[in-house]
Structure 1
Amino acid sequence: MKKLIIFLLSAFASLSLSAQNNPMLTPLPNDPAVKIGKLDNGLTYYIRKNSLPEKRAEFYLLTKAGGIFETPDQDGLAHFLEHMCFNGTERFPGKGILNYLQSIGAEFGRNINASTGFEETQYMLNNIPVERASVADSCLLILSEYANYVLNEEEELDLERPVIIEERRSRRNADWRTMEACLPYWFGDTKYATCTLIGQEENLKTFKKSSIDNFYATWYYPERQAVIVVGDINPSAIEASIKKHFGRIPKNENPSADPDIPFPGNAEPSVGVITDPELAAPSVSVMWKSEADPEEHNAGMLGKMNTLVKSIIARIMDERFTDITSKPGAPYINGSFYVGKLIYERIDVAEASVILNEENILGGFRDFYTEIERMRRYGFTDAEYGRAKANIESRNEAAVQKASTRKNAEFIRPISNHFFDHWPILEPKTEQQLDAAILGQLKAEIINQ
């Protein structure tokens, strides 16, 4: 892959992109219909007018903080804090936020939700009716309360503990338990191996208020946060509301650095055998880890090319596995090949996974790994590359054709990817043109390097 990227850097040096040092790192153009701004306190905001569905809007608060930011006494508290945002803020004590949102027709779960990841947390108000301008203003007020004004009152914390513990119990199914058991093999003795998001039950029962308050104060501040509003709204009014509600949050004059965790490399292969009585079928995964390029590279042509090449490789391998498993007497049930991230943005991984027949575990794995070795030794054919290329071109053409009919929710992921990971917010037509330029230079023998 590294050789391929070096080759592509040379091949695309003549493209009409300008930068003093490296044109491949010049940020690609964002969709001009997305208003991007930043407040004096460091908060980023995105506003995109869209009228499908009419008189509805999406409101998001993004925070660059998740489970991996916890200290030992905060185990599970990134997720716990997400729950506390619904249990009392300075302007909405108790269940005031839920009561207001339900009064305008929103439902918890369907329209009101949040999500905690290993490196990021999102709060969302989905498909909110905004016939009245005051509703949009109130939604932004609520997001600003999440951002800086959660109370974490002792009584509410104690009421929420059994809720979180029950969620932990229900979440830890066979797949989740298997993931937890895999962590030491993936990440060795680094902090990555101990982060489970939901936390250990003992800490959830006994943590002190100061622990969750410290997490909130340390990682929830404007420079780490962004607001997204997409929908049938007045962009100028939305911008004014953002400035009014989020501008009152003070700038963090002493921001904390991200946790400094060493890359979890291993000199020798790490092999684990994991069992669980509830797993439906035996499976094997083989991973090759590497340290990711800086996220800033995602913004330019280099990031676009890297993503496209990974997509081509995965498509071709999935085609091979589908061809094998669709035939009678297939040696294994399902095979897949993934090239992307291993949970964390700084860890790239190529992962080959196979679901095996109980009666032919070793034979099935041997045949599966033979396909991986065939890829490594001989690469791909021109015909395979041609089909993957045609598939990408067809996908892009479909995206261009439906661009004017996109619903509000479809804009959220590209915008959040811009904030979290520096990916450009590309218009479908722009993406089609960029991919066509790259695909026009690529061929199987280049990828096979």
Structure 2
Amino acid sequence: MEIDPELMEAFKNLQVSMRPISAEELAAFDEHTPLKERNEKQDHPSYSKIPRFFDPPPKPEDKIRQMMRREAHSISLQRQAFMLPDTDELNELWKVLQDHVDETTEAKVQLIEFDSFIKVTEKLGEKFEFFLRPRLFLSLMVNSPVPGKAEVLSIYKYVTGRVELEQGRIGISFYDEMGQGVLQEVDLENYIRDIIPTLAQVSNYLEPSFEIFYVCTVVKKFFFFLDPLHTGRIRIEDAIITGMLSEVLELRNEAKESEEKDDQVAEENEHRNWFSLESVIAVYDTFLGLDKDHNGLLSRDELAKYGSGTLTSVFMDRVFEVSRTFDKEMDYKGFLDFFFALEYRDKPPALHYLFRLLDVGQQGFLTAQNLSYFFEDIARQIKATNAEQVLFQDLKDEIFDMVKPSDPMKITVKDLLNSEQGETVVSILIEYQRFSAYENRDENRANI
């Protein structure tokens, strides 16, 4: 293919500068544009639609602007809340859907066609436009028992669920006074404390003296999973996307649902919700069970009895080196971080926590030396129990084979997460019972 000589010459003469352009140079460049043309450009309707990408919050000393910003944020949230369907309007949604049922199957499943779905949307008005969109119908139609139709009950459940979620988002956003979309720990504490009266499965049985521990446990779980880098803030969007906020708000409806179900099913539903009062009490009881001297703090020896009671000595030393302690003892908040890390070892926040303990030199990676340091305690327990000896070199090679790090000499936390073997790796280094179970995995499978 021949290239046009004139085009080639133009490319040769083209000079491109890669240096940054200052605001002054950009303004000067615009000065070359005739004044009349500049004014016409500025008057163009599209200029009014250019969004503002960043609006810095007022400084702490600017009290008036801070107050105005909080007020504006509050008014905006109130307007959003007003635009959501209320209970009467949701009841009206059900009635209108019933009026537009196109078919009822033998299993008494009510179905609606797309044309009728559009009529429902038009009849209900603007408050439902955001929820009753054509793509909702198409997504529900895929799982419908009759092609081309959607289940009426599924439509209703979707809308009510989304409304509850939006109500939750708006409610929690009131505690973000500056409207930045984030909450500090004290903000979330205030929110949880304020909504407890609306959580029937909590407020009906919560002793006033236990409220502080309930709030502390719930808030700590939010921050453990949503703020693994310890910035002191969590994004409201993350609380919604992960489903954690929805799980808390589900406790509002548990009492109503339990009236319609037998006691066994209601109890199972409560167990599935981590934020139920029973789940939180179980965590607190674990703490109390370890606190043998009943001083409200856990010593190293007391915490070492956690779980199987076979956590290695070097690991426990690292826990107390890294964690915040009071006279070398751990409080309930510190215990919650420890608890979540060991109970959810397959989750990224837990692996971040445990990796930090394994990374003794704070290098950002683990080497054979790190692994050897933690294996020495495992080896001592192997000898004490007269179990079959394991060579460190074999274990080290096995760990590196499992993780397959990008650098064959180092294991980073990213390598652990990508390998999907992080839970196994950390467990066999910090807990003898888990190590023993791993070493005897083939025998255990044969006995099943």
User: Is TM > 0.5 for Structure 1 vs Structure 2?
Assistant: no
- Bigger fraction of residues in helix: 2
Q: TM-score, normalised by structure 1?
A: 0.22
Higher RCO (CA-CA < 8 Å; seq separation 6+): 1
Larger Rg: 2
